[in-house]
Amino acid sequence: MSDLYAALTESGRRDGRGGLSARTVQYCHVILHRALRDAVRRGYVVRNVSDYALVPAPKRTRRSAEMATWTAHEVATFLDVTRHDRLYVVWYVALMTGMRRGEVLRLRWRDCDLEAGRVRLVRQLRIVRHVPEFSDLKTDRSRRQVGLDPRTATLLRQHRTTQLEERLMVGDGYLDGDLVFAMPDGVHYHPEAVSKVFDRRVARWGMPHITFHHTRHTWATLALQAGVHPKMVSDRLGHASVAFTLDVYSHAIQGLDDDAAARVAELVHRGTGVRPGS
């Protein structure tokens, strides 16, 4: 088993261009370990040999150093300079909700309750070998509802009106997939094409470089810095646990530590009437 993992690390890529990352090899190990564990339980094998395998450890890096995000001012600037883009509402919804690219592009009108200010996420538009395909969100945590602020809900209503006007212009050739975001003929956008357009807009307007996926990180970082409870942020992002959210976005809450300490101290001293140092 150790030899297998070593081979995957050295030359495991299907395209022949080298090995898999240590994290990917770890994923393979987890799958094999669970399969062999079931085999032991059912009596197919005597022991789980993966228990004794040497698994490469991923390089430990600071996620906060790798995670590029925008400030609130930069978000506002980008939305201002791109307000005439056809994909402006896509940028806006992504930055204001923290939804994944595939979740935004697969959003259907039937899943939107703009009066209540909520959208229901049940499917996604994902990429398989550069080909987009629709698929269900897999876990209960990823299938969720996301709240909309009033401005976002209003923008989506305006976008709906524009889309209906386009549909009338196209006529019988319009492909009605009930998609919130689609090309003028109703066909879904290609996720990779949307990301490329985003990259060009970021470069054109001289914004700090982030990818489309980093709009999600930006929302989460701003939410935590604004004091939104980590449990709410975790639920909104569809993370497996609050611990995962705190681990990924630890950089966003480190600066709040001193403030938290000061608030608790003030609360205690106000309740006892004892001044610090007295």
User: pLDDT tens-digit profile of 135-189?
Assistant: 888 788 889 999 999 999 999 999 999 999 999 999 999 999 999 999 999 999 9
Q: How many domains does the chain have?
A: 2
Residues 51 and 101 in one domain: no
Residue 99 resides in a domain: yes
Assign residue 170 the CATH number of its domain.
1.10.443.10
Residues 137 and 79 in one domain: yes
Residues 79 and 154 in one domain: yes
Residues 93 and 156 in one domain: yes
Q: How would you list the strands of the sheet with 144-147, edge to edge?
A: 112-113, 118-121, 144-147
- Residue 192 to residues 75, 127, 133: CA-CA distances in angstroms? 21, 8, 12
Residue 261 resides in a domain: no
Please check whether residue 170 is in contact with residue 184, taking contact to mean a CB–CB distance below 8 angstroms. yes
> What does pTM read for this prediction?
0.72
pLDDT of residue 63: 47
Residues 82 and 206 in one domain: yes
Integer Cα distance of 142 and 123 in angstroms: 9
Integer Cα distance of 52 and 59 in angstroms: 21
Domain of 142?
67-210
* Among 106, 86, 113, residue whose Cα is nearest residue 177: 106
